[in-house]
Each structure stands twice: as structure tokens, then as C-alpha cells.
Amino acid sequence: MKTLALFRHAKSDWSDARARDFDRPLNERGKRGARAMGEYIRDTGRTFDRMIASPAVRAAETVEESSKAWKCTFKVEWDRRIYLASSATLIDLLKELSGDPKSVLMIGHNPGLEDLIFDLVPDDGSSPLREVVEEKFPTATFAVMELDVDDWADVAEGCARLVEIKRPRDLDPTLGPVLVD
């Protein structure tokens, strides 16, 4: 059994229309969301043997802000393949993991992370939380899957069960969508 946690980068800043997508930083709401999720993850007591992340600025800043809340720093493996990756690319990356970590945290982007959940978790009712992802997998969302594999090389479609999902708005309603009357 392996554990894979996914953490979508927090809300990014779109104020500079000239900025490359890769270079967009977090906005203030994103920084608050990353810290809130970092506190939540810390409070769950979850630990990770490996942390791999997209090197895009908004993902790196999500790691930085959430680490402040965890009150520790992590050795992060930056992998550009995570940036805008498809689910298939993310599965390939997982299959290549060395050192046999029991638990991995991946910080990245949609639609890849969301599609990874859809590919790994069967749509057969065995993971009721899958419906939450079908509704939306917003920025700064944290999800945990248990994979029914002994080796990362065996990761395949349908091998997982979604056991936890937490959205920023679940922690603080002001971190959710802005409702307009």
C-alpha cells in the first residue's frame, strides 16, 4: 500500500497580463489559502517520505507559504514535468520514483492533478469523495489517495481509493469562491 497526496497550487495573481504563465505568483488570497492548508496538513499529523513539486512560481510559493504553517522546511524535488502535466505524465513520474517511499506529496496544477484522481480512483462508488472532485478541485485543495500497489512502478488506472479531500473554503469560507449578488 502506498499513499499519494496531491496539493494543487494556491490562487495565483493575474494582475500582470504580460507575465508568463510559469512566472505568475500567488495573490494574497492564495498566500492565505496555502498557509491555511499547511496548518490543516500539519494538524492531521500526516508525514511524507518525498515531496515533488512543479517549479512554477505559484507552486513554489505554495510550498513556501504552507511550510511556514507546518513550521518546518522540506526537501523538495522540483520536477518541471509536473508543470501543466497530463495525468499520463504524472503517472509516468510516479512509476519512476526511486527509493521506495511509502508516502509522496505532489504539488502541481490542474487539470493534471484532477485528472490523475479520475484515472487512479475508479468511478464505481468505492470512493464517495470522488464526487467532490467531480464538482471542483479548486486551488489549494489537498487530497489523499491510498494506492493498492506495493511498488510505485505498478501504479495504474483504477488502483486507488480517495480517502481525504480538503478545500480551502472548508477551512475558511473567505477562501472560497466570491459570490456575486
Q: Which residues of the chain have pLDDT under 50?
A: 180-181
Which three three-digit cell numbers place residue 110?
Answer: 490542474
d(CA 171, CA 180): 21
Instruction: Give, for 124, the enclosing helix (H) or strand (E).
Output: none
Binding residues for substrate: 58
Model confidence, pTM: 0.94
Residue 84, classed as helix, strand or coil, is: coil
The upper half-sphere exposure of residue 27, i.e. CA atoms within 13 Å in the direction of its Cβ, equals 9
Q: What are the domain boundaries of the chain?
A: 2-175
Query: Across the chain, which distance is largest between two alpha carbons, in Å?
Result: 52
pLDDT of 178 reads 63
pLDDT of 181 reads 47
Top-tier CATH class for 2-175: alpha beta
Residue type, position 29, single letter? R
Residue 141, classed as helix, strand or coil, is: coil
Residue 111, classed as helix, strand or coil, is: coil
Binding residues: 58
